[in-house]
A and B are shown apart, each in its own frame.
Chain A
């Protein structure tokens, strides 16, 4: 039976088994390739999306559990050509090298700032520890999240 998904504010009817993982539906059925496969084990965070505003591993999320939730991917952050403050901060701090982890990092950071608008460095590290950057850009990612947080509160 087709399932109805809400992705980045648009509804999509998906004809896939209910145990299919969200990641592959996003990438292969909807062409939203900004969300990355890194391990398929929920251990690297490259596939992080927001479900009702909370960061989640899309490689671990069966479709049946995301029906009725607001799914946000990296493609859904930009609004009317304006980047999200976290995206701006990642560019500003150049918080990437190969940038394959960047979508997942940004989604995890957006999720963190959603529930804690002024996280300490320790809280950033704690919240992001499930996201791997193999290029080791961690210092700049922490800096980008801090910058985004201070900007967000200034607005």
Chain B
């Protein structure tokens, strides 16, 4: 992992401070593997020393495996390959892209591979599925394990035939001998074996240019289960004797329960009422009865007065005015001398940008099914961090972690919003009281209110440029929105960049890309403003200040596809461009929009994207187009409204998300760099959309919009900072 990736990861970790340095709670012995999986060959990837164990060969150590195992793979007697990873599938298509990479190195068909994902009892510890880390880290790890498994099979075949190993070839699930033309299926070789091999993390892998299965646009491995409704999402799990839960939500954030009377709720047959501290909930045979029970209760809540949206942006800046100079403090970056930079500038510009709170709105709300048996707790839930949720449950119920199992069925999306285990804890509390399995699915209103939000924030930018268009000074202060994507991809000699955390009014946390879309918005709109000041073309101005070849390449690609040099804006037609660099991948976006009165209609989006070697072009293209659609919401109209500890628009009627009718013509140009390691792609495609739209609106109308969302009610009637 390079330094930048490491710091990105640390930023993400800071976003959810609940992650503690757990070490690895891995407790499976090698015997357990074979009891669980049947005989065969198991290859484990460890950061520790490599070793191999045949059954009975080293009895002294046969019960323990290293504590640092990150993935493992089992080849059964019938040749079936099962791969175990703690990552989860939430729509980003890693079940397929990881399968492809295993197939590539192991030289088997993708259909003979199954992935067990996000099951804390069966998969190795994993910090979580976030930060675009699956492709750059889990991908190579699984390729490594698969390559080692292939080599082991070659060894076994060589032993079996007493053959020259160099004449053996692994292909299509078989080892064949070029000299004698005999062949043997993988399953034949693993039959009756109980072989565990532990390998180190130093891969010797097929380079992307040689890939035959990875790198192809393979369709999703389980597409049929989705179109037939057979796939079981967390909210679809059904357990014998299962009840349905509901939680009585407080009157406002930070409220405490002053008095509680279950009223008639306890008299409803089959209903269990739970009051524990400030938690009140019910479990009932069906949802209708659960709702009835909630309605029969009387609860009085005491909530402190809380700030409202009207003063949000003043509040976040005020709360963060103190200088923070400690090395362990919030992220900051300096280069050169910001004072010298400004004194050498011909023009300076100071502007302020704002982003509102927005909600993830995963179409499947938070959901969990909890079941207790003999003091052990099993929970099926949708989360990006199964092991963290396991520990959250263990802590809530004062259990050791090994008494809790969390399973994450492929989930109905997350976008950074499902890092916590709220629904899991609530369902488990109800199940404990009812002594029956309980399903709890948050309502859309609960999802809008009690989940966490993408942080709102203010970003102040002050810059200095020379007459010739070279950027010399860059001061960038982010208040509350977050430190991801804080640094500029442009070459600027004098910089002072800082993130200022505050005590936020709402529960806030990760969102696809964290604060990087907000920081890109401020940066890329500001760049456009600077280009305008000196009368330089936006693309030319960016190129002039850009030395990073990968960034230049995506800008050039997008501009060419869009025909940026020739297309011109008019009062009814705006064109805008913006650049993004984040999580090791690069994006440039050009947009064309139409202005009709106060209405802004996006017509065309051209996005060039580069994330190193492409693992699955089909999934990547889908991911990029989807990210463009999703980012339109935050750019144009999405905003959470709140006051005094309440969310004022917790419904899809009042919180608008992008729909079919918002769909522009989307053209995606992927720059496939087979000479580079694959980087993640779930977040970076969002980065440049909002600023490109702002720049296009300015190009058409002269109205500079510096707050997200930009046009919740169309263009402003009295735009700020334009004509008097």
Chain A contact residues, CB within 8 Å of chain B: 16-17, 20, 24, 27-29, 31-41, 43-44, 46, 73-75, 77-78, 83, 87, 90-91, 94, 96-103, 106, 124-126, 128-142
Contact = CB atoms under 8 A, between A and B. Distances in A.
Nearest to A73: B229
Interface in B204-253: 219-220, 223-224, 226-233, 235-236, 238, 244
B630 A91 contact: no
Interface residues of B, number: 56
Nearest to B218: A94
Nearest to B96: A94
18 contacts: A16-B286, A16-B288, A17-B288, A33-B236, A43-B652, A74-B228, A74-B229, A91-B223, A91-B227, A96-B223, A96-B226, A97-B93, A98-B411, A100-B412, A136-B628, A137-B622, A137-B625, A139-B625
> Taking each of B226, B230, B618, B663, which has the highest tally of chain A beta carbons within 10 Å of its own beta carbon?
B226
Contacts of B651: 39, 41, 43
B229 A103 contact: yes
B660 A100 contact: no
A94 B622 contact: yes
B663 A34 contact: no
B362 A134 contact: yes
A150 B392 CA distance: 51
Contacts of A17: 288
B658 A136 contact: yes
B364 interface: yes
Contacts of B297: none
B229 A41 contact: no
Given A98-B90, A98-B364, A138-B629, 20 more contacts: A28-B286, A32-B229, A36-B233, A37-B235, A39-B651, A41-B652, A44-B652, A46-B363, A74-B227, A77-B228, A87-B228, A98-B362, A98-B412, A100-B362, A125-B663, A132-B652, A132-B657, A139-B666, A140-B622, A142-B663
B410 to A, nearest CB: 8
Given A20-B288, A28-B286, A136 B659 contact: no
B627 A97 contact: no
B315 to A, nearest CB: 30
A67 to B, nearest CB: 17
Nearest to A97: B91
Given A17-B288, A41-B444, A99 B226 contact: yes
Interface in B413-434: 413, 415
Given A28-B286, A75-B229, A94-B220, A135 B652 contact: no
Contacts of A106: 227
A94 B236 CA distance: 22
A146 to B, nearest CB: 13
B89 to A, nearest CB: 8
Interface of B: 90-93, 219-220, 223-224, 226-233, 235-236, 238, 244, 286-288, 361-365, 410-413, 415, 441, 443-444, 618-619, 622-623, 625-630, 651-653, 657-661, 663, 666
Contacts of A131: 660
A111 B706 CA distance: 43
Nearest to A25: B286
A79 B233 CA distance: 24
Contacts of B660: 124-125, 128-129, 131, 138, 141-142
A126 to B, nearest CB: 8
Nearest to B289: A17
Contacts of A87: 227-228
A136 B91 contact: no
5 smallest beta-carbon distances between A and B, as pairs: A34-B229, A136-B629, A98-B91, A100-B412, A74-B229
A77 B228 CA distance: 8
Contacts of B288: 16-17, 20, 24
Contacts of B220: 94, 96
B625 A98 contact: no
Contacts of B630: 134-136
Contacts of A41: 444, 651-653
Contacts of A98: 90-91, 362-364, 410-413
Contacts of A27: 236
